[in-house]
Structure 1
């Protein structure tokens, strides 16, 4: 689904920035609401102390994060967008280890190395190919 999201964002040239993020969030909300409603009903039990963290996650992480992501996706090559998408799980591992003090397993460390290696290889390969194209034109 990530591939479709990147492709359709590149093709939707008339909707950018805040409009794009809002459309994505509304469609995502409706999809999740229907799924949750069918799966467990529409009753949501939230304790009073949970509202502030949920609002911070919703506004800062999802709202502002999606705005920055979707407003820049049209200006970046697909390779860069996909590499940045791979860095999200890597940052989750790093932050969970450093901030929350969680221990990383061997498989998680290997996965992080593979993500970094793939991202580095992808960027180097793209830069090398772009450099060769410039030489061939001359």
Structure 2
């Protein structure tokens, strides 16, 4: 087996545990605090490689670059990943993993309008099939108590897709490691600002009136103890640091299209791991939704393979 496929397997397994690890500590650590700490650790893991890449590419970051990273950090960390962490609080880890894995499909319309990438029957069909899968998971004929979590997971997937397209606009200049490392750092700076102002009494009262208590008095390191420190480090070092790194290496050894197999594996693997670790049951409508999403992802993957063979530009940023 080639190194590229080993990296794909490793990253698929690691990314499939992301929601599980988040669920384990969700009752002890504020979701925004967890979001901040996870990406801070991940950014520090990637930083030496990003600095090395900056020198290799002979890039001197300017105000324009910093502004761009703040935009991407706002979309990825502050918006998308906040929705993601909140989704884990309100619904099953397996459901979040399945729904979030649809983000490459949502990339299609964004890429069409912003990057002027071509749309064909296959891409439209894959989008419709994946949306049908989401409808099955939502189960509109029998709305259940975790509907809030599912909606948050969908918002996380959609906003991450938007971030991916924004990232594509400068992917040739920065490359994946620089792009994601400095996006993490900029996003964390914004998160830290949110966490600090959440302690202002006026903000606390506004959040309480709006029923947004999670946005009040957000701690920075509160709730971390001997029981959850290893899970937190796993999320930061293994999932956000090594997981991304293995995915980068997979793209280098194979291609962005081949490496995207990771997101074909995750919707199938994550529910199995959630069942084993968290004992989360999988309903029949969720299983049906998984099948539709897998079919939609497969059609998307085949479409990207065809486009890459004909030289048409493809989205190369991470879809995790």
TM-score (normalizing by structure 2): 0.34
Matched, 1:46 2:203: no
Equivalent in the alignment of 2:40: 26
Task: Provide the alpha-carbon RMSD of the alignment.
Answer: 3.0
Match of 1:64 among 70, 76, 79: 79
- Residue 20 of structure 2: aligned partner: 7
Deviation at 1:17, TM superposition (A): 1.7
1:97 Cα deviation from its structure 2 partner: 0.8
Determine whether 1:87 maps to 2:102: yes
Q: Distance in 2 between matches of 1:101 and 1:79?
A: 34
- Aligned pair in 2 of structure 1 residues 128, 85: CA closer, same or farther (>3 Å)? closer
Deviation at 1:15, TM superposition (A): 1.2
Q: Secondary structure at the match of 2:117?
A: coil
| 1:75-133 alpha-carbon deviations (Å, 9 max, x no partner) | 2123430232123212211111123321135654454345334434445583758xxxx
Give the equivalent residue in structure 2 for 1:134: none
CA displacement at 1:28 relative to structure 2: 1.6
Q: d(CA) in 1 for partners of 2:126 and 2:50?
A: 31
Gaps of 5+ in 2: 1-13, 140-281, 287-320
Q: What's 2:50 paired with?
A: 36
Aligned residues, how many? 129
Identify which of 283, 307, 311 aligns with 1:126. Answer: 283
Structure 1: any 5+ residue segments left out of the alignment? 130-138
Deviation at residue 24 of structure 1 after TM alignment: 1.4
More RCO (CA 8 Å, sep 6+): 2
Partners of 2:87 and 2:96 within 8 A in 1: no
Question: What CA distance in whole angstroms lies between the structure 1 residues aligned with 2:126 and 2:41?
Answer: 31
1:115 paired with 2:130, answer yes
